[in-house]
Chains A and B, each alone.
Chain A
Amino acid sequence: MSGAFHPARGPGDRLTGLFWRRPGVLLALLIAPPLIWLGVVYLGSLVALLWQSFWSIDEFSGLIVPEFTLKTYAELLRPANFDVIVRTVTMASVVTAASVVLAFPIAYYAARYARGRMKAVFYLGVMLPLWSSYLVKVYAWKLILAREGIVTWAAEGIGAGNVLNAVLSLPVIGGNSLSTSYIGTFIVFVYVWLPFMILPMQASLERVPNAMLEASSDLGATSWQTFVHVILPLALPGIIAGTIFTFSLTLGDYIIPQIVGSSRLFIGQAVYMLQGTAGNLPLAAAFAVIPIVVMLAYLVFARRIGAFDAL
């Protein structure tokens, strides 16, 4: 009779009992898969990469020598390789700066003024480019910027052809046409990554309390002072989050500079070229470490200026 009150315990029951008696077991079970993912797939591959960058390639036979050496890193300092690094970091910085300047007014308007239907239009406008294929967008830009493309055509149509030519004749950033110059690469980078700047910026601007802005003006601050001393510091985490996106995405991209630009290599392209066919994995790995180091340095810098204080 007692069985009616205490039914036989099934395996599920026993498991529950185990978890109840030893909460650590449940915790371990739940946390193990993500930890393994993070540890093995993420960190493991990173470590493997880092490891290879300390190997070197034998000058004579072209074989990889799996012994610890800093020779490969020294090779990064050779002018041709160092150029690639400087070029990529400069491009990433300029693209990021331009994105901040362009995105701020848009994000500010969207966060503080857009209401109802306008807000929906804004979200759609920012997100829509993200939904279409990245490659299609880049190819489209190649056509827009081409020597015989719509920009040149329009510039000539309004009599600004010589302005365009003057811009293109600038040393370094100029070129044969917009699509074969750094200017073109820059424009496409900014276009493609801008949503990644606008969205976090807008999120942080939305969280700036109106009361503070009113308090600021009650206390006699000009709108510029309010901007510099209230809005900017409060929005900084969002801005920094956006710059992390645009900066790191530009550092790693290898498709845009191949389609639009002067063929001068960026880090991603150098990695692509050095692995595989060339069989120079150590140098490819050393190149791949650069964006990691640059990003770490940037995060330390961002922390120093207090970007994460408001989090």
Chain B
Amino acid sequence: MNTMKLMASTALVLLTGLGPTFAQMTALGTPEGQVDIVAWPGYIERGETDKAYDWVTKFEAASGCKVNVKTANTSDEMVALMNEGGFDLVTASGDASLRLVAGKRIQPINTDLIPSWSKVDDRLKDAPWHTVGGVHYGVPYQWGPNVLMYNTEVFKDGPPKSWSVVFEETTLPDGKSNKGRVQAYDGPIHIADAAQYLMAHKPELDITNPYELNEDQYAAALDLLRAQRELVGRYWHDAMIQVDDFKNEGVVASGSWPFQVNLLKSEGQPVASTIPEEGATGWADTLMLHSEAPHPTCAYLFMEHSLNSNLQSDLSVWFGSNPVVPAACTDGSGMQTKEGCTANGFDDFDRIRFWTTPVASCPAGNCVPYYRWVSDYIGVIGGR
């Protein structure tokens, strides 16, 4: 889930402006017999990967809509598939979502047709990545933080309090330096993590949003990352490689996802995760309806199903993410528990800054756009 979440530059959004609303559905028809969904791998499970994780079979039986899934590995792929058309729903991330709305590929949804809308987390109901001008362009699907994963044998006295363990050379509680024992994400979006760290530690830079950086703020973030390069043996790109590095490469701390943390824990590795005092970055996905969806009724039924079934609860266990229906943490609709939600960062919503694509025309004026993040991050990793 990674590059995937990184998004392409969305100058398009700015050029076309976020468009006027389309007509939304006013009433459901008869189910059309199927629904076609573009989704992240692992997002729509029918018990084929693991019998315990199935949130499709019951829906198909109850609604008569067969679910067809097309997985996509990056936000760009999702946008491309939706542009091609022929799909009903997409689980779009924060960067792809506005691009899709601007491209008029998405229709507003009528929340009256989704009885469980009221159960959606209030913190997400009007989130800016799916609400434009007060109009809802989708139903929140799932979200998660980029946590700090650490080795509990090294950090014996409790979790690290600050991201400084991965940004600055320090002596870890086991008496050895962190040099060569920490990792960082190898996507340019990691610059935002550095900026967020600077928000707390260099207030004079006046950073208000880690995705909207002016030249000075951006340069400071790059300097921090250059120092980090000295500490990092290898950046992580693939979740499974990071898991392996924690096991075999002596890595003891790194930005990560709950997915890797849960996986390592399930293998009995001594790891845990925390959201340090500076807060964290994160991702939030939305189920959106294509403007020319061939099966809108089934799509609406699936949106309702996504909020009112075992989906939220079981998916959050499966993926290490958080349900968008707070009740799903505790109501026993699936396997998720209150402790599990807490571990996945559910209570830290306010401390998470969700990924968005950096664009040149930010509210403050001139911000450094994403394509420069890419070219400069190549330099930083290369030791420049």
Interface residues of chain A, those whose CB is within 8 Å of chain B, are 57, 60-63, 75, 78-81, 83-84, 87, 142-143, 146-149, 175-177, 179-180, 258-259, 261-265, 270, 273-274, 276-280, 283
Contact = CB atoms under 8 A, between A and B. Distances in A.
A263 B381 contact: yes
Interface residues of B, number: 43
Interface stretch (B4-12, B192-200, B254-262, B311-319): B4-12
B244 A142 contact: yes
Contacts of A276: 8, 74, 76
B370 to A, nearest CB: 6
Interface stretch (B24-32, B234-242, B265-273, B320-328): B234-242
A263 to B, nearest CB: 4
Interface of B: 3, 6-9, 11, 14-15, 74-76, 180, 186-188, 232-235, 237-238, 241, 244, 247-250, 359-361, 369-371, 373-376, 378-379, 381-384
Given A261-B234, A262-B234, 9 more contacts: A78-B379, A81-B375, A143-B244, A148-B247, A149-B248, A177-B233, A180-B234, A263-B234, A278-B370
A62 B369 contact: yes
A283 B248 contact: no
Contacts of A148: 247-250
A60 B188 CA distance: 18
Contacts of B373: 278
Nearest to A274: B374
A265 B235 CA distance: 11
Contact of B384 (A57, A75, A83, A277): A83
Contacts of A79: 379, 384
Contacts of B75: 277
A149 to B, nearest CB: 6
Given A84-B382, A148-B248, A280 B375 contact: yes
Contacts of B381: 263-265
A176 B232 CA distance: 9
Nearest to A144: B248
Contacts of A279: 8-9, 370-371
A147 B74 CA distance: 31
Contact of A81 (B186, B235, B370, B378): B378
Contacts of A265: 378, 381-382
A84 B381 CA distance: 10
A279 B376 CA distance: 14
B360 A274 contact: no
B250 A263 contact: no
A175 B238 CA distance: 20
A250 B143 CA distance: 39
B180 A146 contact: no
Contacts of A80: 375-376, 378-379, 382, 384
A62 B250 contact: no
B382 A264 contact: yes
A175 B186 CA distance: 18
27 contacts: A61-B11, A61-B14, A62-B11, A62-B369, A63-B15, A78-B379, A79-B379, A80-B378, A83-B379, A143-B248, A148-B247, A176-B249, A177-B233, A177-B249, A179-B234, A180-B234, A258-B237, A259-B241, A263-B381, A264-B382, A264-B383, A265-B381, A276-B76, A278-B8, A278-B370, A278-B375, A280-B374
B8 A270 contact: no
A62 B378 contact: no
Best-surrounded residue of A87, A265, A279 (most CB of chain B within 10 A):
A279
A61 B14 CA distance: 9
A302 B180 CA distance: 42
B384 A142 contact: no
A29 to B, nearest CB: 35
Contacts of B74: 276-277
A142 B241 contact: yes
A197 B24 CA distance: 63
A277 B360 contact: no
A149 B382 CA distance: 26
